[in-house]
Chain A
Amino acid sequence: MFRQASRLLSRSIAQPQHTKTKVAARAFSTDVPATPTEDSPFSQSWKKVIPTIEPPKTPSSYMKPRPATASTIPTKLTVNFVLPYASQLAEKEVDMIIVPATTGQMGVLPGHVPTIAELKPGVMSVHEGNDVSKYFVSSGFAFIHANSVADVIAVEAVPVDHLDSNLVQKGLADFTQKLGSASTDLEKAEAQIGVDVYSAMNSALTG
């Protein structure tokens, strides 16, 4: 399956990719536990200690249970892409996503090994048939579960075509100057982050 994955990846994206050609060292059907609807030991012990008050709800009771891992690999990848102020994609079925992990661009197809990846500023693209939508994400995390569900959490994300190249150039120049004149470690770190984000935006626009 992963042989095919790498072929698909290299065919659909021209630019060199850090493709995941992982040998499946462990069984594919590592179940993501269907989150228990109620942690019953908790509410039992709660009722023992505090019989007068109802136990508080816990987050899992508000969540739709995630699907169990199918024995065969589904054809589509289910993507949840969330930001603090919006859910960009909610349970959308797509062919592939490419996320900017700190270790390099990472393509995710259905049946990917379960992975936790930290994201760096860069372009996340969502491939759906022939349509490719590109977002610039600032940072965050991506979780890929065994049941072909990928969760991407970003602090900020905008479609790439919403970026203004003039402002990006200006910001890049600003932060490069700041990095040169920074005296303390904190200032240096802040300027470095600015430079990193702006150069990532710049390469997103030009590349």
Chain B
Amino acid sequence: MAMAALRREGRRFAGSLTAPQPMSAIRSAIVSEEQVPLGVRSISTQIVRNRMKSVRNIQKITKAMKMVAASKLRAIQTRAENSRGLWQPFTALLGDTPGVEVKKNVIVTISSDKGLCGGINSTSVKISRAIHKLTSGPEKEVKYVILGEKAKAQLMRDSKKDIELCITELQKNPLNYTQVAVLADDILKNVEFDALRIVFNKFQSVVAFLPTMSTVLSPEVVEREAEAGGTLGALDSYEIEGGETKGEILQNLAEFQFSCVMFNAVLENACSEQGARMSAMDSSSRNAGDMLDRLTIFYNRTRQASITTELIEIISGASALEG
């Protein structure tokens, strides 16, 4: 709602500026004599006053959005921090394998549904594109799975054919594990993969977000890598309890790992989004304040100038009568 109001305000603001003359001419237009009807001698301050009102309204909205983002951030930050323990056991067991060579790569790009949150969405899109470039090659297949409206809009433009699945409106309800598990299940059912690469912004502080890539391997690849040695070589030394076969357990493990990693990733990204929105709105309120100051000075100067002119006219008129 706030965003719609902001857009409306912006339109009005732009409309009032562009209607009489092009945007670039506005500064001269304010003082130009052609603006005022013939016979009126005072300089019109109407345009400046309108503009000041617009800027003040925009500032109000951005301030409110900052407050909203701040309160949302507080709620989600604790949840994100609490979920950080969840992926660590998996990384300890299966290792971190960003450089693994597989045939079918699927890049899961996590972004937000709403804009006005700084550069976090373009960062994850940029990183996803780079991973696409890095992992693509002959006989290799790279696909995208997109979470969130914003990355979808950006990736639709140039890699429409590679997009396998788009999921939006994730954050309508507060995020919980069940919801993310259902979503992860959806992805696992509909997408064939050898390695999933989850791209998200990890929350570090309100102003710092680290673009991160987590890798989840399919059970077949885990088994292959474990046999081949390397980073996963130690997995062979583990006894496996339960399940009929080793493959079955590894399948369950990989799916559980994906849901856990995803859960943390969406929370971190949502947290980064709120943080980024907070700082973006903070700086835009500050900019609006600066602009308002400049406009106020300009307005007062013009007003003073017109008063001075009028005074001079009166005085010189009076002195002409006297003399």
Which A residues contact B (CB, under 8 angstroms)? 22, 26, 30-33, 35-36, 39, 41-42, 45-46, 49-50, 53-54, 56-60, 62-63, 66, 80, 82-87, 90, 101-103, 106, 113-118, 120, 140-141, 143, 145-146, 149, 151, 153, 155
Contacts and interface: CB of A to CB of B under 8 A. Distances in A.
The 3 closest A-B pairs by CB, nearest first: A151-B89, A102-B242, A42-B99
Contacts of B96: 35-36, 39, 58-60
Contact of B89 (A58, A80, A118): A80
Contact of A116 (B176, B211, B212, B241): B241
A58 B108 CA distance: 14
B86 A32 contact: no
A54 B213 CA distance: 12
B19 interface: no
A153 B86 contact: yes
A66 B92 contact: yes
A179 to B, nearest CB: 22
Contact of B241 (A49, A54, A80, A101): A101
Contacts of A35: 91-92, 95-96
Contacts of B82: 85-87
Interface in B227-283: 231, 233-234, 237-243, 249, 252-253, 256, 260-261, 263
Nearest to B252: A118
Contact of B212 (A56, A63, A101): A56
Given A35-B91, A45-B134, A56-B127, A114 B241 contact: no
Given A46-B134, A58-B98, A153 B89 contact: yes
B133 interface: yes
Contacts of A118: 241-243, 249, 252
A32 B88 contact: no
Nearest to B242: A102
Nearest to B93: A143
A165 to B, nearest CB: 25
Contacts of A149: 92
Nearest to B232: A33
A46 B130 contact: yes
Given A63-B91, A82-B85, A57 B130 contact: no
Interface in B56-91: 79, 82-91
Given A35-B91, A84-B177, A53 B126 contact: yes
Of B239, B260, B261, chain A has the most CB atoms within 10 Å of the CB of B239
A164 to B, nearest CB: 22
Contacts of B79: 85
Of A58, A66, A83, chain B has the most CB atoms within 10 Å of the CB of A58
Contacts of B256: 140-141, 153
A58 B97 CA distance: 9
Contacts of B263: 84
B143 interface: no
Contact of B242 (A56, A82, A84, A117): A117
A22 B260 contact: no
Nearest to B90: A153
B112 interface: no
A59 B92 contact: no
A79 B213 CA distance: 27
Given A36-B96, A118-B241, A56 B89 contact: no
